[in-house]
Structure formats: C-alpha cells, structure tokens
Structure 1
Amino acid sequence: MRRRQETAGKEGGITWVARNPAPSYNARVHKADTLFAIVEQLRSEGVDARHALADTDLTPTQLASHNCRMSYRQLEVVIRNALRLSTNPAIALNAGSRVCVTSYGMYGYAMLSSRTLAEVVDLTNKYIRIGTPCCMAVMTKSETSVLCCLSPMHWYDETTEIYRFAVEFALAAHQKVIRDLLGPQFVFKKIMLRYGRPKHSALYSEFFGDQIDYRQAENGYEFDAAHLHAPLPFADPRSNAMVSEICETMLLEIEQVSDMAGAVRRILVENLGHMRRLGDVAKTLNIHPRSLRRALAAEGTSYSEVFSSIRAELAIRYLRETDMTSEDIAYRLGFSDAANFRHSFKRLIGVPPSEYRRNAKHGTVQNV
C-alpha cells in the first residue's frame, strides 16, 4: 500500500498524528469550493452566510466569485462555525454531498474528460490539492479493488469533531463525484475510519451502507476494481490534455507557496512535551532562528502564536478528556504556575479553565 509519511507524538495519554506534506495553512491561494459547499449547506439550514463566515474576513459576495481564494485557516474557522451553528448531525455529510465533479473547476473537467475511472484515479493522486480538499487522498489500484486512504489536511487528532467533519465531508464528496462519473448506482465496498463509532453512526449507513469498520489504521474506502475499466460518457482526450496542463500550472502555484507556520506546527505536534523553544524548532528545520522569525512574520504570525495555539488545543483536550487539575496541566504544558496557565487560557479561549470544563460536561462549549 502506498502511504504518506506519518509520524506521531504522545503527551499525557493523548496521541497526535501528523501526516506530511500538507498544503499551506495560512496562504490564501486555495480555491474556495469546499468552503462554499459548507456555507451553502448552512444556508439551507437557515444560517445566515455572514454568520457562517464569521471571523474569516470573507463576505458572501466574495465567496460567490469564481476568483475567490481562501486559506486552510479560513476553512477551519468555517468548519468550527458550522459545528457551532448547526444542529444537524449530518452537516458534514450533507455539505460533502453538495460537491459535484464540476465544482472542482479545471481539476473536475480533467476527471470528466478522462476515458476511464482508472485515469481519474491517477489524476486524483496527482492533482487533488487543486480542489482544496479537507483530506489528502492516496488511491491504490490492485487487480480486485481500489483503496483510497484519506488523511485530514491540518487536523491530526481523531478524537476531535473537526477531524471527523473533515473525514465525513471527504467521504461524501468522493462518493458524489464518482457517482457523477459512473452513475447513481455506485457504492463503496467498504469504509474504514480511524476513530470510534460516533453517536450519529446510523447516518453513515444511510449514506454509505453497512460495511463500515471503526478504529482502523487509516481512514478511507474501497471499491471494486471492475469500475476502473468502464468507459466514461464525456471522454475527450484532446480536452483532457489541455485541462491537465492547466492543472499542472495550478498545482505548481500552490506548491511554491511558503508555509513556515505549517512546518512549525507539524514539528510541535510531533514533539509535544519535548520541544518548546524556537531555537530547537529552527534547528530541526535546519535554519537560523532569526530566519525562522522573519519567515513567520512574513506569513503574518509568530512562533509564540503558533506555539500558543498548539498548547491551547492540548489544554482543551486535557480539560475535556481527563480529570487533571489546572496545576497538573500547567506543569505538563510548561507554564511557570497554574495562575499563568489560567490567565493564558482565558485570554485565548475567553473563559477560565474551570468554567470551560464545567461547560464541556454540560455540552455548552463550542466544538474543538
């Protein structure tokens, strides 16, 4: 099986998994199709698009433009807004099902003009990042089946709702696109998920059937290899060659974007509890600390902001999933004392740790 590089870090019984490479987290160079599908689903549920886009610096008018570009940071904000604003447990599944093959622009037309699904699989492995997916996809063909492994782009903890949202969206979107190409009768043979069975697992059966395995080594799906050789109805080799060249240019533009903040984030995630100083991270990246500071500043952030974000995420995990005291959490995360931890947490999250934990037990905090 072809796999993306995977590393893991563990801190306080909580495991974080990071897969590389991921596209830029901060740069606004990505097509907004995924974000658009989520906002449209929220609108169908009665949520004002302005509320769905809160804290993104994007307006509904901008999002409606075919030239709209977004960052993965903005996509994360919208996903968190969706988890907070929607009462629909199928929000991610329904949003993903709004995606059609032409939603992906040139990448979609490259799939549509392919001769067979086998060519589409090759295109997916090469150009999927053009479509701003929630999950990276790696598809492997064998004589009997096709396996697609899905890895959320910037969300590494499978216990969180944002991780599950990314996987659900990706599964629904992939199924919809393949049905656009082969017809509505297409079904997955099997689905694999890294996380445990969620409360709304019955919805999975409605969308994908009953062959669903939880707590697996990978997220993904499998389908019969016989589908690979069926001729596609809109095959056009000349058009396919033209749009594939455009896809190559678009992919190069995305890959050339610097994402130092994303690199720092991945290093910290992989080394939680062992690496806290900027100098240590710079050494791992094989650059001078001053160069790292300048690169982060050019992306509109700083080492302290990235580090604080990671530390806040882990603090939330501890508060929600363990009985650790504020003193224990402060020590584990490297704060000088519990008071310093409480002050930092309230500044970042808006409420003291004790209030956050109390609200979490009653289900009244924003999903993380």
Structure 2
Amino acid sequence: MAEIPYIGAAERIYPVYKLIPLSAHLAAAGIGAEQTLAGSGITVADLDDPYFFVSRQQVATVFGNFLRLTPGTISPLELGASFHLTDYGFYGYALLSSATVRDAIDFGMAYRELATPIVEVELSFADGEAAWLIRPLPDFAPHEAMARFVLEYQSGILLALHKSVSGNAFRLRSASFGFAVPDSAAHYHTVLNCPIVFDAPQTELRFDQAWLEHRPLGAHAITFQLVRETCREMLERIGGGRGVVGEIYRHLLSRSGQFATLEEMAGYLDLHPRTLRRKIISEGTTYQEIIDEVRFKLASGYLTRTEMTHESISERLGFSDASSFRRAFKRWAGVSPNQFKSR
C-alpha cells in the first residue's frame, strides 16, 4: 500500500473514537460534554454522528480540555486500558478477526490513520522480545504535561488492544516511561502488572515475541476480508485528496449513493458555488470528475463484493438506466462491468 502523505493538523478526516471515552469519563465525574469539547468546534451531537470527522487540531484541543478539567482520580493510563476494540469500529473488528496477532499488528500499522494517531509507534524485536516504542507527535506535545498524558493514554490503549486480541492472559514483560516517576505510581503497577522504570530514554512496552504467533480470539477469515475492504475504503477516503477536493471526496463516500449537486455541496462547505468551482479547478479537477471517481469506486465494490444486478447498481449510483451505467463504467475502467467482475 502506498504511504499516505503527511496530513495537515486542520484536515477533518478522523472519526471521533478517541474522544468519546474522555467525554464519558468526565461526564461520570459530573463535568458536562460541553466543557470537554469547548473551543474545539465539536458539538455534543457530533459525538453520536458516525459520519462526523475531526482534525488532529480538534483532538488536541479536547485533550487539552481533559487535562485541565480531569479530577485527580482519573488516570490516562487507566483510561486507555479501559478501551475496547469495538471503540475503534471497523478498524477494531479487523484487528480482532485477523489470522494471528502478528497479522493484526501488521494491519494495525498499515491502517493506523483510522485510529486517529496521537503518537508515533514502532515495534522492534530483540532476543525473543518485542517492544512498542512510543513517542508523542508534535501536535500533541506542546508541553511536558500533554506529552506525558498521550504517552500514558496510548500505553494503556496498546495494553487493552493486546488483551482484547489475545485474552486476559496476555502479560507485559516490562515497561519504561520517558518521564520522571509520578507522586503516586501505584496505579502503574496495578494496570501494567510488570516491572516499571521511569526516567527512561524513551517510553517502551515489552512483551514475549511468542504472543505474535497466537490466534486472536475472534479470528475469522471471511469477517476479516469484509472489514478489511471497508477499512481500505476509509483509508482511501483519508488519502483521497487534500483541500476542498478531499472534503468533497470524503463527504460523497460517507454518503454513498447520494450525489449532491455542486450547489448543494457548496452549501455543505459553506462556500458560494462559484468559489467552490474555482477551488476545485485550482486543485486540478472538476466536480463531475470527482463524482465519476466516487461512482467508479462504489461500482467496483458492488461488482466484486455483491451479487447486485446492473439495474440495481445503476439505480444506486443515480443513472437513468443500466445501459447508461454500463457505458459509463466502460469509459472509466476500459472494460465492461462483466469483464471487470470476472477478473
């Protein structure tokens, strides 16, 4: 898979997965979601919208609010450790249904943009041991307290994901953290249940490499294929363009089968139609070309993963009849729909 280019901090392309636990924990402490989301441009209703996407900038704002509002009884490490694979949607189901833990990790690293990354992670191997190396991203490390927060939070999440995939028998061999020992470190030992070192050169979680060959609890080849395809489309949505073209592309894919006119899309983006047209042209394409690309992507999926008739596909994609769909598809792919499907 081609690497996705660097994504700007303001690009609204991530689902709200990582924000929901923060809001829920503060709510349990009597702090309203409005306070948690203050200044981020995210509303309480947005947290329940599966089609709502946020930027890293917005995520960082909510993290800052959490850090400022959180009672001393809430630990980022414990919060991360309470994560469930289902909190990651299709991405989580793909990890759970992988053939081996190693396959799950390979998939997770390849598709990690779907998890709203807040750190850089790398898996290294030495002497039968595997180690997660964790470093904060610049967006999430404007000061020491925030850097420590994301290191703790992500460490807890990684432990939770391993236990979700491998079961509660999973154990870390040791852990180290690249910051000073906290005033009360007891909860670190309670959560991680392994030897811990503070003031280390970097944050690492180490475990027996043999765990990588275990079969995940939910391993299922057909399920994995289905959710992998969905994740691939989601990842393409993230990498499907920058600027206004990327916004249009992601909006159309998230509402497959609903093809807004340029005027309707301009309203969604809060732009004048002429302004939107100029922006699209400046990015080297046209609105019709974007529509055609999304239609082709959807049609390809329908042909290869369903038994939908040409009539059903043409209706789903907004064509007047099946023959119009077939002509358009041959123009896009260079082959007929039947030839494409047989391949």
Q: Normalising by structure 2, report the TM-score.
A: 0.64
1:129/1:136 contact within 8 Å kept: no
Q: Whole-Å Cα distance in 1 between the matches of residues 16 and 42 of structure 2? A: 11
Out of 84, 109, 123, the residue aligned to residue 68 of structure 2 is 84
- The 4+ residue runs of structure 1 with deviation greater than 6 A are none
How far off is 1:143 after superposition?
A: 6.0
Q: Which residue of 2 aligns with 1:195?
A: 179
Q: Which residue of 2 aligns with 1:323?
A: none
Q: Which residue of 1 aligns with 2:45?
A: 61
How far off is 1:239 after superposition?
A: 2.1
Unpaired segments of 5 or more residues in structure 2?
244-278, 283-343
User: What one-letter code is carried by the residue in structure 2 that aligns with 1:162?
Assistant: M
How far off is 1:258 after superposition?
A: 4.3
Structure 1 residues 153 and 83, CA gap change in structure 2 (3 angstroms): same
2:14/2:114 contact within 8 Å kept: yes
Q: Which residue of 1 aligns with 2:58?
A: 74
Q: Which residue of 2 aligns with 1:113?
A: 97
2:17/2:115 contact within 8 Å kept: yes
Aligned sequence identity (%): 23
Alignment map for 1:76-225 (pairs within 5 Å): 76-88=60-72, 90-141=74-125, 144-155=128-139, 157=141, 160-225=144-209
How far off is 1:226 after superposition?
A: 1.8
Q: Whole-Å Cα distance in 1 between the matches of residues 90 and 75 of structure 2? A: 27
Give the CA RMSD over aligned residues.
2.6
Unpaired segments of 5 or more residues in structure 1?
1-19, 260-294, 299-368
How far off is 1:198 after superposition?
A: 2.4
- Higher alpha-carbon Rg: 2
Tell me the secondary structure at the aligned position of residue 178 of structure 1.
helix
Tell me the secondary structure at the aligned position of residue 70 of structure 1.
coil
How far off is 1:187 after superposition?
A: 2.1
Tell me the secondary structure at the aligned position of residue 148 of structure 1.
strand
Structure 1 residues 202 and 139, CA gap change in structure 2 (3 angstroms): same
1:194/1:215 contact within 8 Å kept: yes
2:78/2:191 contact within 8 Å kept: no
Cα deviation, 1:127-149, whole Å, max 9, x if unaligned, reads 12211132232223456122111
Structure 1 residues 67 and 157, CA gap change in structure 2 (3 angstroms): closer
Q: Is residue 2:213 matched to residue 1:229?
A: yes
Q: Which residue of 1 aligns with 2:285?
A: none
User: What one-letter code is carried by the residue in structure 2 that aligns with 1:254?
Assistant: I
Q: Which residue of 1 aligns with 2:236?
A: 252
How far off is 1:247 after superposition?
A: 2.1
Q: Normalising by structure 1, report the TM-score.
A: 0.60
How far off is 1:51 after superposition?
A: 0.8
User: What one-letter code is carried by the residue in structure 2 that aligns with 1:241?
Assistant: Q
Structure 1 residues 108 and 167, CA gap change in structure 2 (3 angstroms): same
How far off is 1:202 after superposition?
A: 2.5
Q: Work out the number of aligned pairs and report it.
A: 242
Q: Whole-Å Cα distance in 2 between the matches of residues 144 and 21 of structure 1? A: 34
Higher-RCO chain (CA-CA 8 Å, sequence separation at least 6): 1
Structure 1 residues 74 and 251, CA gap change in structure 2 (3 angstroms): same
Cα deviation, 1:81-106, whole Å, max 9, x if unaligned, reads 11111122543123313321111112
Tell me the secondary structure at the aligned position of residue 136 of structure 1.
strand
1:90/1:203 contact within 8 Å kept: no
How far off is 1:157 after superposition?
A: 4.9
